[in-house]
Amino acid sequence: MNVVILGSPGVGKGTYAKILSEKYNIPRISSGDLFREAIRDETELGKKIEDYVSRGDLVPDEITIELVKERLERDDCGNGFFIDGFPRTVAQAEALEKFKKIDKVLNFVASEWVILSRLGGRRTCRKCGAIYHIKEIPPKFEGICDLCGGKLYQRSDETPQAIKNRLRVYREKTRPVLDYFRRRGLLADIDANYHFEEISKVISQCEKHLQKLGADLRK
């Protein structure tokens, strides 16, 4: 099954997608990870991407689409995928459906207060990319990754000014994508206002939709 994961910045898409990926044994593809790989490799494309990401702006469609298309064509996506952070524009959604059939779109929804709290407290490992939260998922030792010992930092797009810009960009450019998939009968809204300790309540909502989807696909 090919599933799109949508929701505003900070809603928890990456965490939910990772859990679902492990449960259903199909890969989680993150456009953010693809961007960071390109930036880390210091390619010319990566340098262009870094300029947009550091401002909290969307990376241009043509760059994003090409990165995602190449990733979804790899062998590990043969039985399906969960794609997180893409599409973010209607043009991207239309392009995606030209090279992959989408079976379901899970849209995670949380209040703006919850989103600001989550993003403002998030920290990322410079070495392995693991994500923590200073209140909800703190590391054992402040500023140090539990997994690899790398230093934790606050991403440039998670400062207060960048967060506000990302939410503005989301409202202006990404929400039309919800309307696009809703009209196609693919969208399912998921209540993501729960604390991390109650994450099972979020995942159970997803499972209900995916179980029905699996039954429909077997028909």
Does residue 155 have an active-site annotation? Answer: yes
Select which of 36, 71, 88, 100 is catalytic: 88
Q: Give dist(CA 36, CA 128) in Å, integer.
A: 11
Does residue 47 have an active-site annotation? Answer: no
b/e string for 9-34 if b means 16 or more Cβ within 10 A? bbbbbbbbbebbbeebebbbbbbbeb
Q: What are phi and psi of 190, to 5 degrees?
A: -120, 125
Does residue 71 have an active-site annotation? Answer: no
By CB neighbour count within 10 A (0-12 exposed, 13-18 middle, 19+ buried), where does 213 fall?
middle
Does residue 166 have an active-site annotation? Answer: yes
Select which of 48, 69, 155, 201 is catalytic: 155
Does residue 48 have an active-site annotation? Answer: no
Residues forming the active site: 13, 88, 122, 155, 166
